[in-house]
Amino acid sequence: MSKTVTLPLNLLSMSRINVASLGTWLGQLALPVIGIVGFLALWSVVASNIDTSLGKFPGPGAVWEQAVNLVDEHVAQQQKASDFYQRQEERNAARLAQDPSYEVKIRDFTGPPTFFAQIWTSLYTVAVGFLFASLIAVPLGILCGLSKAAYSAINPLIQLLKPVSPLAWLPLVTMVVSAVYVSSDPMFSKSFITSAVTVSLCCLWPTLINTAVGVSSIDKDLLNVSKVLRLSPMSHVFKIVMPSSIPMIFTGLRLSLGIGWMVLIAAEMLAQNPGLGKFVWDEFQNGSSESLARIMVAVLTIGIIGFALDRLMLILQKKVSWDKTAVLR
Amino acid sequence: MTSKHQLELSQVGIDFPTAKGPFTALKDVNLRIHKGEFISLIGHSGCGKSTVLNIVAGLHQATTGGVILDSQEVTEPGPERAVVFQNHSLLPWLSAYKNVELAVKQSSKKRNKKEIREWVEHNLELVHMSHAVDKLPSEISGGMKQRVGIARALAMEPKVLLMDEPFGALDALTRAHLQDSVMEIHAELGNTVIMITHDVDEAVLLSDRIVMMTNGPAATIGEILSIDLERPRNRIELADNPKYNHYRHEVLKFLYEKQRKVESVSSHRLAQRNNKVGQHNAA
């Protein structure tokens, strides 16, 4: 009797668990896959119906082909570079054997940058520009949040400069960098400095504003605790202000990094500075039948990197944040 | 008891600027408190109890008069006048231990590492929180948070302990536990305590004197009731004690008879709100 009662109950609970796990499995994996597959299908249908002066608009297949091509080109270029250095070394060793007083000169490989070299350049530039901007924006934001006077003094400037597209600054930045950054043996190239400064100029504002708002909205009771404990200004900032405003600071940082990455690509296209933007522009000027597919590879790469950068900031935020239960997205 | 009066409020008044000109919240508050005395401030919502406490804490500056603690005028907040805030105000990113430790490190620079650790642990033990020292505030109950808040205040070794409705946000049972803890601690340490409360029973049970405040604007001290009940006090025995019930009656009479008349003179709205509070408390 008892068996006949428990058996259906067990079955029922088992089927419930299965439905639940099926639901999470669907949500986590299947639904995004369905979305992507649907997009790919739509893309290939639409692409096959668009004729451009450079041939048909590339569908997913053509783009994949070019992605493989770009990898192959990179591998071939690396092979070429290592061959070059090996030949150079052999030649130098031979000359040194003939003439011990010979001063060895090492010349760099001067082949054109591959797609992956351009990715690296862009990533490096955005990182430097973003870090530089954050180092200015976070302390300045904290100052604006703490002091009404500082806020009143700086706020009009923020409001005036924030809506300016950093690309409008680009000509000025270019001229100033060429005039000011003069060195016979420069550590960084001028184009790198120009791009990084342009990125910095747009990364400043979201971090600055969000930090200021975060700091000025700290719980009043916590401020009173700080007063009763007579915390010094420094420990007030590090023990009360910073931990309180970490969520807002990171909101600002993530917005800044996203904007910085977008602006960098545009700046590279406009100024012909090395990076992914230049790759896109070069392919456009090149105008071969593969160009559009190669640009499409770059477009998708830019998207994937932008997404990865945001996830990276999220991981960093989770590490730094004290509230491990907060749902971050 | 070295000096007769440890804390003295004389002619304390405060004006807050508003769009319609200055608003006088408090006027002519005079109070002398002995060392080791337990004082309760009671009155209707908005009567300025918290403002009195904040002036003593140094968080607000009195417009007229002043506060003298051990023959020194109070001008700014400081650890010798530790505050237990109504909603605990623990730093949410620090564990119970670290919250108390921050206070210990700030209030006395003389201790070495070992002494700091011992003092933190001692104070957490005093409020019966030794079992949860490494928990974050979000991981413990409201009553436990308030215990840690009290430990933090006690760890500063304050001359005066200021408590702003410390148990207002807690359920009745937890509140009773914490009241017992506070009585125990007061008996052991003999701190001077000023506590704000809405709860008549709490005031009578804990205090040496109950300071009853009139309604604002220009609120001041209406009556002071000395509670002559022997310590240690037991809530169950007192429930049947005629003296205890007399004191309760006195406070209730002040709050709901004497002060109600003043309300009808003051703005209609305020009276309505206080009536609601009255009904709520009576129920």
Query: Dihedral angle at the C-alpha atoms of B54, B60, B62, B66, nearest 10 degrees?
Result: 60
* A323/B138 CB distance under 8 A: yes
Structure tokens at A238: 């590090």
CA B179/CA B189 separation, integer angstroms: 15
Instruction: Enumerate the domain spans of chain A.
Output: 2-49, 75-99+111-320
* B106/A229 CB distance under 8 A: yes
Q: What is the pLDDT of residue B276?
A: 53
- Please indicate if any CB of chain A lies within 8 Å of the CB of B92: yes
Helix axes A166-180, A242-271, angle to 10 degrees: 80
Strands B192-197 vs B38-42: parallel, antiparallel or unpaired: parallel
Residue B82: list chain A partners with CB under 8 A.
228
* A227/B93 CB distance under 8 A: no
Q: What is the mean pLDDT of residues B106-125?
A: 89
- Please indicate if any CB of chain A lies within 8 Å of the CB of B168: no
CA of A249 vs chain B CAs: smallest distance (Å): 16
* Identity of the amino acid at A159: Q
Strands B38-42 vs B209-213: parallel, antiparallel or unpaired: parallel
Q: How many other C-beta atoms lie within 10 A of the C-beta of residue B203?
A: 26
- Residue B229 · residue B244 · CB < 8 Å: yes
Residue B203 pLDDT level (bands cut at 50, 70, 90): very high
Residue A243: list chain B partners with CB under 8 A.
91, 93
Average pLDDT, chain B: 87
CA B16/CA B60 separation, integer angstroms: 10
Residue B281 pLDDT level (bands cut at 50, 70, 90): very low
Judge whether residue B156 has pLDDT over 70: yes
What is the total residue count of chain B? Answer: 283
Q: What is the DSSP letter of A103?
A: P
Q: What angle do CA B100, B198, B53 make, to 5 degrees?
A: 55
CA of A21 vs chain B CAs: smallest distance (Å): 29
Q: What is the mean pLDDT of residues B192-210?
A: 93
Q: What is the mean pLDDT of residues B210-222?
A: 90
What pLDDT tens digit does each residue of chain A (329 aa) get? 444 444 455 555 555 556 666 667 777 788 889 999 999 999 999 998 888 888 888 999 999 999 999 999 999 999 999 999 999 888 888 888 888 888 877 888 887 888 999 999 999 999 999 999 999 999 999 999 999 999 999 999 999 999 998 889 899 999 999 898 887 777 888 889 999 999 999 999 999 999 999 999 999 999 999 999 999 999 999 999 999 999 999 999 999 999 999 999 999 999 888 999 999 999 999 888 888 999 999 999 999 999 999 999 999 998 888 877 777 76
What are the phi and psi torsion angles at A319 (to 5°)? -70, -45
Residue A229: list chain B partners with CB under 8 A.
79, 102-103, 106-107, 156
Structure tokens at A147: 């002091």
- Please write the tens of the pLDDT for every residue from B9-21: 999 999 999 888 8
Query: Residue A273: which H helix or E strand, with range?
Result: none
CA of B145 vs chain A CAs: smallest distance (Å): 14
- Please write the tens of the pLDDT for every residue from B167-199: 888 888 888 988 998 999 999 888 999 999 989
Judge whether residue B274 has pLDDT over 70: no
Q: What is the pLDDT of residue B267?
A: 52
Q: What angle do CA A224, A229, A232 make, to 5 degrees?
A: 100
* A229/B79 CB distance under 8 A: yes
Which is more confidently placed, B278 or B20? B20
* B92/A225 CB distance under 8 A: no
- Please indicate if any CB of chain A lies within 8 Å of the CB of B106: yes
- Please write the tens of the pLDDT for every residue from B222-273: 999 999 999 889 999 998 999 999 999 999 999 988 887 454 445 555 545 5
Q: What is the pLDDT of residue A2?
A: 45
Please report the DSSP string for chain B in residue order: --SS-SEEEEEEEEEEEETTEEEEEEEEEEEEE-TT-EEEEE--TTSSHHHHHHHHHTSS--SEEEEEETTEE--S--GGG-EE-TT----TTS-HHHHHHHHHHHH-S---HHHHHHHHHHHHHHTT-GGGTT--GGGS-HHHHHHHHHHHHHHT--SEEEEESTTTTS-HHHHHHHHHHHHHHHHHH--EEEEEES-HHHHHHH-SEEEEE--SSSB-EEEEEE---PSSP-HHHHTT-HHHHHHHHHHHHIIIIIHHHHHHHS-HHHHHHHHHHHHHHH-
Query: Dihedral angle at the C-alpha atoms of B149, B152, B155, B161, nearest 10 degrees?
Result: -50
Residue A222: list chain B partners with CB under 8 A.
89, 91
CA of A84 vs chain B CAs: smallest distance (Å): 56
Q: What is the pLDDT of residue A166?
A: 86
Strands B160-164 vs B83-84: parallel, antiparallel or unpaired: parallel
* Residue from A223, A228, A231, A245 to probe the interface with B (highest B Cβ count within 10 Å): A228
- Residue A276 · residue A133 · CB < 8 Å: no
What are the phi and psi torsion angles at B193 (to 5°)? -130, 135
Q: Where are the alpha helices (DSSP H) in chain A?
A: 2-25, 31-48, 60-98, 115-146, 148-161, 166-180, 190-216, 220-228, 233-235, 242-271, 276-286, 291-320
Residue B156: list chain A partners with CB under 8 A.
229
| Nearest chain A residue (CA) to B101 | A229
Q: What is the pLDDT of residue A108?
A: 83
Residue A239: list chain B partners with CB under 8 A.
91, 102
In chain B, which among 177-236 make CB contacts under 8 A with chain A? none
CATH number (1.20.1250.20, 1.10.3720.10, 1.10.10.10, 3.30.1360.70) of A75-99+111-320 reads 1.10.3720.10
Cα dihedral sign, B153-B155-B156-B161? positive
Q: What is the pLDDT of residue A182?
A: 83
- Please indicate if any CB of chain A lies within 8 Å of the CB of B59: yes
Q: Across the interface, which of B76, B85, B138 has its CB nearest the CB of A224?
A: B85
Residue B108 pLDDT level (bands cut at 50, 70, 90): confident
What are the phi and psi torsion angles at B85 (to 5°)? -85, 160
Name A37's Cβ contacts closer than 8 Å, sequence gap at least 6: none
- Please indicate if any CB of chain A lies within 8 Å of the CB of B169: no
CA A211/CA A213 separation, integer angstroms: 5
Residue A225: list chain B partners with CB under 8 A.
85, 89, 91
Residue B92: list chain A partners with CB under 8 A.
322-323
Judge whether residue B282 has pLDDT over 50: no
Question: Would you say the ipTM is above 0.85?
Answer: no
- Please indicate if any CB of chain A lies within 8 Å of the CB of B78: yes
Domains present along chain B, CATH in parentheses: 7-82+158-227 (3.40.50.300), 89-156 (no CATH)
Q: What is the pLDDT of residue A252?
A: 95
Calculate the alpha carbon distances from B228 to A86, B43, B190, B209, B210 in Å.
Answer: 99, 21, 17, 9, 11
Beta bridge partners of B211: B41, B224
Q: What is the pLDDT of residue A5?
A: 46
Q: What is the pLDDT of residue A95?
A: 86
Residue B84 pLDDT level (bands cut at 50, 70, 90): very high
Return the residue matching tokens 């830019």.
Answer: A302
* A230/B103 CB distance under 8 A: no
Residue A327: list chain B partners with CB under 8 A.
none
Residues belonging to chain A with any Cβ–Cβ distance to chain B shorter than 8 Å: 219, 221-222, 224-225, 227-231, 239-240, 243, 322-323, 325
Q: What is the DSSP letter of A185?
A: S
- Please indicate if any CB of chain A lies within 8 Å of the CB of B30: no
CA of A196 vs chain B CAs: smallest distance (Å): 35
CA B52/CA B222 separation, integer angstroms: 14
- Please indicate if any CB of chain A lies within 8 Å of the CB of B83: yes
What are the phi and psi torsion angles at A261 (to 5°)? -65, -40
**CB-based contacts of A79-88 (< 8 A; 24+ apart in sequence):** A80/A109, A80/A111, A81/A109, A81/A111, A84/A109, A85/A109
Q: What is the DSSP letter of A163?
A: T
Query: Residue A181: which H helix or E strand, with range?
Result: none
pTM: 0.81
